[in-house]
């Protein structure tokens, strides 16, 4: 071993999350200070496992995702977070990051949330930077806004905050407090056309965005109460309204963003009709064509069966409420572990 060769490494796991009240648009795009607060649930079973190794002999940062070299934009985005950690730790070492998702990247389930949450935790832990949950959530937020919600466990609220210091996420109810299931209805696995970061920067061009943002405290309050009371009807009404509002903003941005495909709308309509017939399920759609259908655990089988019978549905995945991001001993599986 060469003189002065130092190495620090750690691994972490984080779950993606699905937002009930959506984050769309920033007050500050660089710091990712959101235009409005948001509420989500972590997704159990789906995870990103990331190992970070800082080493004296590395001459650049390297990022491997699912066993492949990430593209330049991906490396730059990860390096920015590593720079922040290096600064906090007072070190100058480059790092190798190996990240493995147990869900397909192209499946329309956002991997940036779990990816940056796992990276924030693994990188800071590797070099001994002690951050509390709020500090980790802030760090994750700098990489991807929704990633700040993948640090705490269960049902989570991202406080808008006044600035960088107080914009982070907290758990508002633990995972087991409500047996809710996200049935992820895949209608397309094509990569999305407009990424979230660009979408956020266009939100302010929609004349509807100020109205959506101003009304957010009302929607947050209804959603929070529904989670506390385990009131599915209350949740369903506000989750669908919030998703529709965000898509109305997307569709009226300049240029407009249309994330729905015909099958997306068909599933949304079918869920509404089924609810009118008594099936307690509701939909929410992110910046892509796939539909997240929420229901209570007691009716998950019935709900999945119904969703699988709809035309255009390729696959339905299920996720319960997941825990917080955590440090683990093992390395992610893959050719470079």
Contact call for residue 194 and ligand DP6 (CB under 6 A): no
Which one of the spans 19-27, 80-88, 96-104, 318-326 is the region binding ligand DP6 (CB under 6 A)?
19-27
Which one of the spans 20-28, 43-51, 118-126, 329-337 is the region binding ligand DP6 (CB under 6 A)?
20-28
| Helix locations, 90-231, DSSP H | 112-126, 133-143, 196-203, 209-214, 216-229
Rounded Cα distance between 285 and 223, Å, is: 16
Spatial contact of 325 and 50, defined as CB atoms under 8 Å apart: no
Contact call for residue 240 and ligand DP6 (CB under 6 A): no
Residue 6 beta carbon to ligand DP6: minimum distance, rounded to whole angstroms: 31
Contact call for residue 167 and ligand DP6 (CB under 6 A): no
Q: Is 320 strand, coil or helix?
A: coil
Residue 173 beta carbon to ligand DP6: minimum distance, rounded to whole angstroms: 18
Q: Which residues face 43 on adjacent strands?
A: 321
**Up-side HSE of residue 206: CA atoms within 13 Å toward CB?**
25
Which C-beta is closer to ligand DP6: that of 238 or that of 287?
Answer: 287
What order do you get walking across the sheet with 38-42 strand by strand?
17-21, 38-42, 155-158, 169-173
Which C-beta is closer to ligand DP6: that of 9 or that of 261?
Answer: 261
In this chain, which of 42, 171, 196, 284 binds ligand DP6, going by CB under 6 A? 196
Contact call for residue 182 and ligand DP6 (CB under 6 A): no
Give 228-292 as a DSSP string: HHT-HHHHHHHHHHHHHHHHHHHHTSSS------HHHHHHHHHHHHHHHTT--EEEEE-SSS-EE
Which C-beta is closer to ligand DP6: that of 94 or that of 116?
Answer: 116
Q: Is 175 strand, coil or helix?
A: helix
Contact call for residue 287 and ligand DP6 (CB under 6 A): yes
Which one of the spans 22-30, 49-57, 130-138, 228-236 is the region binding ligand DP6 (CB under 6 A)?
22-30
Which one of the spans 50-58, 93-101, 192-200, 226-234 is the region binding ligand DP6 (CB under 6 A)?
192-200
Spatial contact of 175 and 323, defined as CB atoms under 8 Å apart: yes
Residue 18 beta carbon to ligand DP6: minimum distance, rounded to whole angstroms: 7
Contact call for residue 19 and ligand DP6 (CB under 6 A): yes
- Among residue numbers 96 through 135, which ones bind ligand DP6 (CB under 6 A)? 110, 112
Say how many residues touch ligand DP6, by CB under 6 A: 16
Spatial contact of 183 and 274, defined as CB atoms under 8 Å apart: no
Backbone angles phi, psi at 45, to 5 degrees: 90, -30
Residues in touch with ligand DP6 (CB under 6 A): 19, 22-24, 32, 38, 110, 112, 144-146, 196-197, 200, 286-287
């Amino acid at each position: 071993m060469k003189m002065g060769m130092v190495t620090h490494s750690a691994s972490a796991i984080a779950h993606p999350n699905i937002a009930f009240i959506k984050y769309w648009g920033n007050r500050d795009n660089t710091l990712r200070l959101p235009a409005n607060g948001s509420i989500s649930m972590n997704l159990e079973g789906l995870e990103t496992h990331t190992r970070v190794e800082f080493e004296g002999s590395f001459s650049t940062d390297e990022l491997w995702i699912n066993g492949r070299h990430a593209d330049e934009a991906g490396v730059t985005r990860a390096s920015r977070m590593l720079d922040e950690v290096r600064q906090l730790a007072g070190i100058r070492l480059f790092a190798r990051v190996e990240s493995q998702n147990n869900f397909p990247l192209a499946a329309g389930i956002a991997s940036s949330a779990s990816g940056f949450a796992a990276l924030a935790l693994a990188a800071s832990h590797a070099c001994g930077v002690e951050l509390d949950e709020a500090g980790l959530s802030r760090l994750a937020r700098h990489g991807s806004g929704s990633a700040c919600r993948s640090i705490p466990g269960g049902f989570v609220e991202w406080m808008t905050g006044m600035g960088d210091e107080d914009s982070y996420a907290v758990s508002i109810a633990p995972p087991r407090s409500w047996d809710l299931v996200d049935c992820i209805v895949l209608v397309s696995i094509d990569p999305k056309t407009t990424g979230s970061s660009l979408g956020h920067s266009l939100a302010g061009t929609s004349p509807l965005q100020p109205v959506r943002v101003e009304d957010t405290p009302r929607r947050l309050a209804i959603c929070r109460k529904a989670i506390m009371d385990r009131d599915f009807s209350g949740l369903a009404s506000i989750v669908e309204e919030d998703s529709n509002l965000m898509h109305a903003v997307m569709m009226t941005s300049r240029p407009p963003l249309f994330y729905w495909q015909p099958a997306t709308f068909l599933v949304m309509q079918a869920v509404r009709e089924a609810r009118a017939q008594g099936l307690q399920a509701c939909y929410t759609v992110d910046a892509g064509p796939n539909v997240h259908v929420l229901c209570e655990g007691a009716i998950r089988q019935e709900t999945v069966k119904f969703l699988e019978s709809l035309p255009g549905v390729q696959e339905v995945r299920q996720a319960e409420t997941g825990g917080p991001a955590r440090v683990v001993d093992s390395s992610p599986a893959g050719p470079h572990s």
